[in-house]
Structure 1
């Protein structure tokens, strides 16, 4: 596996519910090139000092502050950890715990200190990580490839994955008589291919359980249609690499998969825009943060797009959802849009962290509502 830790939605939900006397969120741009990671460690150290300064300014408990800084320093000093990085690092720490995620996304370096974690940038990795799995499937071989943006793809070893179609049926060839006595021609071969595909799908369940990354199929002919019919993974993309995968390296497969991922993402965003426009006429869509905050508080958001690159400091009332904006982003304030996203997720909303140009109105957020504002 590549050195990428994409949190599941359940992990994200756990982080979003966390509350403490101080919650520190640090995002740092990193590099998978070990020889160049020193600059990222230096930046992480600088952000640590900013955390310390913010907490000292508000008179945070010295003993708790020392415990927090010790855990961050331990991470900074872990040479083995820093050897294996991706494109960004997200660290979430309190005086009692610390979690780190290595991400394929290019995220802006920042630090946020509050009574809850700042998770909006992490949403990009959860909702559209520019990552995918590729299943290269032919009668002669199976490869399961993991790919991430700007990182070299790698073959993932899958327990119980069949080697090829013939050996999966315990045969040296597909051209023999089936158990039912059907002739050994195309009809019998089709039975063997179905057996093969079912075994591939069963093996993949072990590594894909709980995952939400897209799966791109590289296969041709009957195998492609059989796998599409059989696959139990709900995130298999409709478009495929319609060439024999045996002729391509992992890097070539990844290059062929990227336009498919871009198309799927663009289609998803276009569908949300169309839904937003339709619901706007019924007063069931908004780009206003105050309206969105109230709707999120009462479980009224169906779909939410948020800008991952900016932070609007303030507070959202726990009972009414009323928003109070502040000018200074200190150790007490938190990201308003971040809090709206967390509340929307808690009520089962679909939430996507995107770039501003992908948001209707190109503002901080756009929400499709379950009922009129």
Structure 2
């Protein structure tokens, strides 16, 4: 299964896109070659439906043909069909085509309008289950990346000197004290910290200043030494207690994801507590109509929404008023998804959560930048 998801820049471009001839297609997919014919047939049907919808919307023939040509090119692109995952997200307009292979199971949907229906894709990428794992022993250090769509994958530490572990063999004080013993015990603390600093210098460029947690799996001697020199803000307090050499990458992945799950629960609990504190000040709301008005006005700083709430369809006007629909059509979109898009467009943050993690019996909850105007 080959997965490619949009970067933050690509996602922002999709959200900001405006063109009367904008077509969005979500299609359940499969990496199994035998499924290709079914997928191609489904895409041809969506192409025909999109052509009719564009004509009904008054889109001129030139722009309709441009989109039809894009559908045709996809049909004949062998590399494209060899790179399927669980879902396919397509965004087509006269100016170009964007295709993403997604590991999540997204419902089949077609929309035609003046913008792309980014909500379902946003829903799949905002429920993050990502992190890094750093293993440290006396003789080696390895960095692994955890992604929602794949297991632990090693990240080469190109800047780590091959002889980094020799730091542990250096003898301070002229060799009169703190020698490394014949049994192979680690050197004194000063060497341990220096060794961990060398490792950190090689690791930090791969982490940047992001929000992704770093989980430590180190020997008993080196675990406290690394924490002493650490400067990465998102080093998890909990580490993997097993010796790094005793774990396979698959086992390392399992242990790390348990820590990520616990971190996520902790973060949500803190968010809910903050939400309740701000509710009394009028800067935290959960009523759908209030959130819609605030999101449209650019007043939402943080939005949590129900990961599984996909039934609410309709549209939201420029004043933030909700116009519900009885079902999905080519001109409607998921209301919760549209709220998330509007929050992102105005510089807010969004998080897809399970319904039980929300503070009220509502599919949304928002922390505002300022109290709403009544």
> What SS does the aligned partner of 2:275 have?
helix
Could you state the TM-score of these two structures normalised by the residue count of structure 2? 0.82
Equivalent pair of 1:18/1:117 in contact (CA under 8 Å): yes
Instruction: Quote the residue 2:103 is aligned against.
Output: 104
1:174 aligns with 2:173: no
Give per-residue Cα distances to partners, 1:236-264, cap 9 Å, x unaligned.
33322121111111111111112112112
1-side partners of 2:176 and 2:30: how far apart?
Answer: 57
> What SS does the aligned partner of 1:262 have?
helix
Instruction: Quote the residue 2:262 is aligned against.
Output: 263
Report the Cα offset of residue 99 of structure 1: 2.1
Instruction: Quote the residue 1:356 is aligned against.
Output: 355
2-side partners of 1:38 and 1:234: how far apart?
Answer: 48
Instruction: Quote the residue 2:179 is aligned against.
Output: 185
Instruction: Quote the residue 2:316 is aligned against.
Output: 316
1-side partners of 2:297 and 2:253: how far apart?
Answer: 42
> What SS does the aligned partner of 2:360 have?
helix
Name whichever of 66-75 and 180-189 sits farther off. Answer: 180-189
Instruction: Quote the residue 2:65 is aligned against.
Output: 66
Aligned residues: 366
Report the RMSD for the aligned CA atoms in angstroms.
3.3
> What SS does the aligned partner of 2:371 have?
coil
Equivalent pair of 2:209/2:232 in contact (CA under 8 Å): no
Equivalent pair of 1:175/1:184 in contact (CA under 8 Å): no
The alpha-carbon distance between structure 1 residues 31 and 199, as it changes in their structure 2 partners (threshold 3 A), is farther
Equivalent pair of 1:136/1:217 in contact (CA under 8 Å): yes
The alpha-carbon distance between structure 1 residues 68 and 354, as it changes in their structure 2 partners (threshold 3 A), is farther
Equivalent pair of 1:113/1:331 in contact (CA under 8 Å): yes
Instruction: Quote the residue 1:237 is aligned against.
Output: 236
Report the Cα offset of residue 284 of structure 1: 3.0
2-side partners of 1:44 and 1:191: how far apart?
Answer: 63
Name whichever of 183-192 and 51-60 sits farther off. Answer: 183-192
Equivalent pair of 2:313/2:334 in contact (CA under 8 Å): yes
2-side partners of 1:327 and 1:262: how far apart?
Answer: 36
What 5-or-longer segments of structure 1 have no aligned partner? Answer: none
1-side partners of 2:132 and 2:89: how far apart?
Answer: 22
Report the Cα offset of residue 352 of structure 1: 0.7
2-side partners of 1:268 and 1:299: how far apart?
Answer: 24
Report the Cα offset of residue 96 of structure 1: 1.0
Instruction: Quote the residue 2:92 is aligned against.
Output: 93
Could you state the TM-score of these two structures normalised by the residue count of structure 1? 0.82
2-side partners of 1:179 and 1:113: how far apart?
Answer: 74
* Mapping for residues 67-86 of structure 1, pairs under 5 Å: 67-86=66-85
2-side partners of 1:210 and 1:6: how far apart?
Answer: 21
Equivalent pair of 2:19/2:93 in contact (CA under 8 Å): yes
Instruction: Quote the residue 2:288 is aligned against.
Output: 289
* Mapping for residues 102-251 of structure 1, pairs under 5 Å: 102-149=101-148, 151-163=150-162, 167-168=163-164, 171=166, 174-178=168-172, 183-185=177-179, 189-209=188-208, 212-251=211-250
Give per-residue Cα distances to partners, 1:171-205, cap 9 Å, x unaligned.
3x722224987845379643333333333333334
Report the Cα offset of residue 358 of structure 1: 3.2
2-side partners of 1:202 and 1:237: how far apart?
Answer: 18
Instruction: Quote the residue 1:13 is aligned against.
Output: 12
The alpha-carbon distance between structure 1 residues 261 and 82, as it changes in their structure 2 partners (threshold 3 A), is farther
Q: Which has the larger radius of gyration?
A: 2
Give per-residue Cα distances to partners, 1:44-101, cap 9 Å, x unaligned.
4444444334323323322212212322332343222333344433332222122233
